[in-house]
């Protein structure tokens, strides 16, 4: 390998390394993992949010997508996996609900149990078979 090629590869690798360190330190470190400190754009019942999406998804996307929403409802179940914790809010006799995803560090395991009524704040990511809220935080 010639000296010029070796020198060019060394510079390229050095620049890539510096850029990756910058991204990790300044971008990801400063990114919030929840909406705890942010004010909700909308507060509503979980059932109404599901009805809005199931009746007219395009209109609901315009109104709710990427907004911080506080939903109130009853916990159907809590799923704890390695990456995160999901709380599912669902009305009786409904097929859809609101799936709220918590960062493991943000979730207070003993605070949420099936059958209890809660208020959860998160960012609306849309509607699959359920309305999905990410980066959630439990409201007091």
Tens of pLDDT, residue by residue over 30-54, are 455 668 888 999 999 999 999 999 9
The answer to whether residue 116 sits within a structural domain is: yes
Is the predicted pLDDT of residue 59 greater than 80, yes or no? yes
The answer to whether residue 36 sits within a structural domain is: no
The answer to whether residue 89 sits within a structural domain is: yes
Owning domain of residue 105: 42-139
| Together in a domain, 114 and 49 | yes
What pLDDT is stored for residue 30 in this prediction? 46
The answer to whether residue 52 sits within a structural domain is: yes
Is the predicted pLDDT of residue 93 greater than 80, yes or no? no
By three-state DSSP, how is residue 47 classified? helix
The answer to whether residue 37 sits within a structural domain is: no
| Together in a domain, 97 and 124 | yes
Cβ atoms within 10 Å, residue 13: 10
| Together in a domain, 115 and 50 | yes
**136 and 111 Cβ atoms separated by less than 8 Å:** no
The answer to whether residue 82 sits within a structural domain is: yes
Average the pLDDT over 72-94 and give the result. Answer: 87
pLDDT-derived band at 1 (thresholds 50, 70, 90) equals: low
* Residue 92 token pair: 């009786």
Q: How far apart are CA 98 and CA 134, in angstroms?
A: 11
**Domain holding 135: CATH number?**
2.40.50.140
Share of the chain above pLDDT 90, in %: 46
| Together in a domain, 69 and 13 | no
The answer to whether residue 67 sits within a structural domain is: yes
Average the pLDDT over 45-71 and give the result. Answer: 94
Domain count of the fold of the chain: 2
| Together in a domain, 10 and 73 | no
Q: How far apart are CA 70 and CA 77, in angstroms?
A: 18
**38 and 66 Cβ atoms separated by less than 8 Å:** no
Is the model more confident about 105 or about 63? Answer: 63
| Together in a domain, 72 and 7 | no
CA angle, corner 120, sides to 56 and 99, nearest 5?
50
């Amino acid at each position: 390998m010639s000296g010029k090629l070796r020198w060019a590869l060394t510079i390229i690798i050095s620049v890539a390394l510096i850029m990756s360190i910058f991204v990790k330190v300044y971008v990801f470190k400063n990114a919030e993992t929840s909406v705890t400190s942010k004010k909700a754009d909308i507060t509503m019942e979980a059932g109404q949010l599901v009805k809005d999406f199931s009746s007219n998804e395009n209109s609901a996307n315009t109104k709710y997508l990427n907004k911080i929403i506080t939903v109130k409802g009853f916990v159907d179940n809590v799923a704890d996996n390695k990456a995160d914790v999901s709380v599912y809010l669902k009305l009786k006799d409904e097929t859809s609900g609101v799936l709220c995803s918590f960062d493991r560090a943000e979730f207070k395991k003993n605070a949420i149990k099936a059958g209890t009524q809660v208020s959860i704040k998160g960012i609306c990511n849309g509607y699959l078979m359920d309305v999905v809220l990410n980066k959630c935080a439990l409201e007091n």
